[in-house]
Amino acid sequence: MECINIAQSLLKEADIKINGDNPWDITIHNEKFYQRVLSKGSMGLGESYMDGWWGCDRLDDFFYRVLSSNLKDKVGKLSVLPYIIKAMIFNLENKRRAFQVGEKHYDIGNELYQNMLDKRMAYSCGYWKNANTLDEAQEAKLDLICRKLDLKPGMRILDIGCGWASFIKYASEKYKVKALGVTISKEQAKLGREICENLPIEIRLQDYRELNEKFDRIVSIGMFEHVGYKNYRTFMEVAGRNLDNKGLFLLHTIGGNQSSVATDPWIDKYIFPNSLLPSIKQIAKAMEGLFIMEDWHNFGADYDKTLMAWHKNFNSSWDKIRSNYNERFFRMWNYYLLSCAGSFRARKNQLWQIVLSKKGVPGLYRSIR
């Protein structure tokens, strides 16, 4: 009974009721839920949802309220400590472990992503400034990057973490550039090569640390979250080593409001192993002495819309792909998409596009929005 009272008191701060009538209220199906969450924090909350111990009509609104009220900081603090200690002792994103996230997350089925994402299969935040649909938002994002990089025909582009090649395919078709994309996902590389057939594009299954060539432009879209704080400087050094002295480098990454060394335990275990959201301070320290910051653009609120669009697509296509998964995966994936949407809505996460040069753009770099 004490656990129930504690839970009710905490949730009241976020205007959430247990077994209430609002769509963001939670319904409890197993009384062991309270002890599990209070003792294990985010891991207990996520796993108990996957196990069907509780439900909520609008998980995104639930998490928006929980995170806006900072309830996460008040529950299960000690449960996070082992992850922080582990991250401080070990380099969780070293070369030997680099392909783990590819196997765990990106290799679970191209059919899933083909049904969930836009037609170009861009698995990163869309740009919704003048867009009404996911396809429009993703194409606007790709073109925004091309314009920020001032792409010209014949340029050679490097995409670090190219995914299914959405950006380099678009850049090659629209701006007539040549490109190399690297990924740590076998499934992404396989499908990406098929998608880019007959274009001047090469896709490699390769760790970014092995790159040693010269490019006119470098881009990295939604990959820096897998680098890890012990490798931020190395990543920037690799980008600098491979970028022409007159070139531009655009880093597109989710960011956190505070510096951290370990990610959320549930996200680490079930969605993105060894991942970490960088802070402004960590990025700045990593690039100091290597790059000049030409532009820093935040449109993190657009990720809320992007995630909700992915959630809609995933659920509408579930019957087509469900034979490849199980109901626990279905609950897990919805939890992932909606909890992240709530986090961006609460402005706990940001989305940054940072344009960097090695020696400064002659005259002035014109910021593009």
Closest CA to 253 of 286, 220, 294, 290: 220
Instruction: Determine the Cα–Cα distance for residues 296 and 311; give it in Å rounded to an integer.
Output: 28
Beta bridge partners, 158, equal 180, 218
Q: How far is CA 85 from CA 63, 89, 292, 332, in A?
A: 27, 6, 33, 26
Q: Which of 125, 162, 196, 340 is catalytic?
A: 340
> In which residue are the tokens 């960097």 written?
356
Q: Is 3 a catalytic residue?
A: no
Instruction: Determine the Cα–Cα distance for residues 350 and 241; give it in Å rounded to an integer.
Output: 28
Q: Under a CB-based contact definition with an 8 Å cutoff, are residues 333 and 299 in contact?
A: no
Q: Under a CB-based contact definition with an 8 Å cutoff, are residues 28 and 54 in contact?
A: yes
Q: Under a CB-based contact definition with an 8 Å cutoff, are residues 181 and 202 in contact?
A: yes
Report CA 119 to chain centroid distance, whole Å.
19
Q: Catalytic residue positions?
A: 340
